[in-house]
Amino acid sequence: MKFIISSSYLLNQLQLLGGVINSKNTLPILDNFLFTIKEDNLEITASDLETTFSSNLEVESDSEGAIAVPARLLLDTLKTFPEQPLTFLVDEDGQKIEISTEQGKYELAYANPDEFPDTVEVSESSQVELPADVLSTAIHKTIFATGNDDLRPTMSGVFFQFSQDDLKFVATDAHKLVKYTRADLSADKEAEFIMPKKPLTILKNILAGKDESIKVEYNESNAKFTFEDSQMTCRLIDGKYPNYDAVIPKENPNVLTLDRIQFLNSVRRISIFSNQTTHQIKLNIAGSELQISAEDLDFSNKANERLTCDYNGDDLQIGFNSRFLQEMLNNLESDHIQLEMSLPNRAGILTPKDGLDEGEQVTMLVMPVMLNN
């Protein structure tokens, strides 16, 4: 078994696939990439049992066969090579691979490819096609709001909610919530599933800026994403997602409109002076003036800033966790944002005022914190 491939081409693909491999695996075979050669096509697969990611690469070869190659050793070696053709020659008797370059030869042992887990087939599936940049944006807008609580695994992923009217992507950790809606896209029939964070992070980085269509197939237990010459299959999070609509306040008569960057910078500065356990800041809104303040009584630190704003509603004092506000404001690209509120103990609704594509809608909810008056 022999094939020739560009060193940088191979390295780029392996770095993408390597995101699937855990630093510590229960099965030693999962520390390897599975290489499957069929004439001029090299299929490389990485898996952690939950997620399996494979890519097809063009190579020069007239061989057929499969080997499992140590991932870390191969990646570390390829990173040191300048761009050049590499010749891989498999010695089946010695169970080793010889890599030949212009400078020298390198030998490494390979593992039995038969031990590598089979890719799960997504049978009896529904499917939808959507632009790569839409899926990438949907993940980017929501994934930061997912939770890390092992006791509530359903909140550790992003909720995909497809219907004939629109596509919704939702994430929450019970303190903040993000709902990203695309009214310009739809599915043939209604479907709901929870995608784990790890495969979504990999997809977000790969799909950003790509101008192509992604095929998403899904059933009750697995989802499969097919794009270019790659496919990713992952196990879905089992369980029922919380009724997120029930926690979004419908009546929010107090509406604050602000310059996003100005507000973000102010929150960032004031938060330095807040209690480093609660990260609490206070918004005091009266007329066209917003006062942002924070105080850390333990260290006698205090800060206060005034911003001019556009405000419709009753005078209001409300407290928020500054870290959650910063995460949300950083995640928007609009010039101006709108913060809708009702009472100091009810969630605030943050939405962008501009910078959205047609059919695109972003709703962010942030829970208030009790003020230390």
Per DSSP bridges, beta strands 126-131 and 213-218 are antiparallel
Kindly state whether residue 121 falls inside one of the protein's structural domains. no
Domain that residue 103 falls in: 2-115
Which of 245, 264, 288 is the C-terminal boundary of a domain?
245
The number of distinct structural domains making up the chain is 3
Task: Say what the pLDDT of residue 373 is.
Answer: 57
Let me know whether 272 and 360 are in one domain.
yes
Q: Name the CA radius of gyration of the chain, rounded.
A: 25
Let me know whether 344 and 266 are in one domain.
yes
CB 179 within 8 A of CB 363: yes
Task: Say what the pLDDT of residue 150 is.
Answer: 86
Let me know whether 85 and 26 are in one domain.
yes
Let me know whether 226 and 333 are in one domain.
no
Let me know whether 19 and 66 are in one domain.
yes
First to last CA, the chain: 74
Let me know whether 180 and 293 are in one domain.
no
Let me know whether 288 and 328 are in one domain.
yes
Which of 115, 141, 158 is the C-terminal boundary of a domain?
115
pTM of the predicted model, to two decimals? Answer: 0.93
Let me know whether 14 and 89 are in one domain.
yes
**pLDDT tens, residue order, the chain (373 aa):** 999 999 999 999 999 999 999 999 989 999 999 999 998 999 999 999 999 999 999 999 999 999 999 999 999 999 999 999 999 999 888 789 999 998 899 999 999 999 999 999 999 889 999 999 999 999 999 999 999 988 899 999 999 999 999 999 999 999 999 999 999 999 999 999 999 999 999 999 899 878 899 999 999 999 999 998 999 999 999 999 999 999 999 999 999 999 999 999 999 999 999 999 999 999 999 999 999 999 998 899 999 999 999 999 999 999 999 999 999 999 999 999 999 999 999 999 999 999 999 999 999 999 999 886 5
* Domain CATH for 272: 3.10.150.10
Let me know whether 163 and 222 are in one domain.
yes
Task: Say what the pLDDT of residue 18 is.
Answer: 96
Which of 245, 276, 310 is the C-terminal boundary of a domain?
245
Kindly state whether residue 120 falls inside one of the protein's structural domains. no
Task: Say what the pLDDT of residue 125 is.
Answer: 87
- Record the tokens describing residue 289, joined without a space: 């003036």
Kindly state whether residue 26 falls inside one of the protein's structural domains. yes
Q: H or E segment at 219? A: none
Kindly state whether residue 65 falls inside one of the protein's structural domains. yes
Let me know whether 81 and 190 are in one domain.
no
Let me know whether 8 and 107 are in one domain.
yes
Q: What are phi and psi for residue 281, nearest 5 degrees? A: -125, 155
Let me know whether 95 and 179 are in one domain.
no
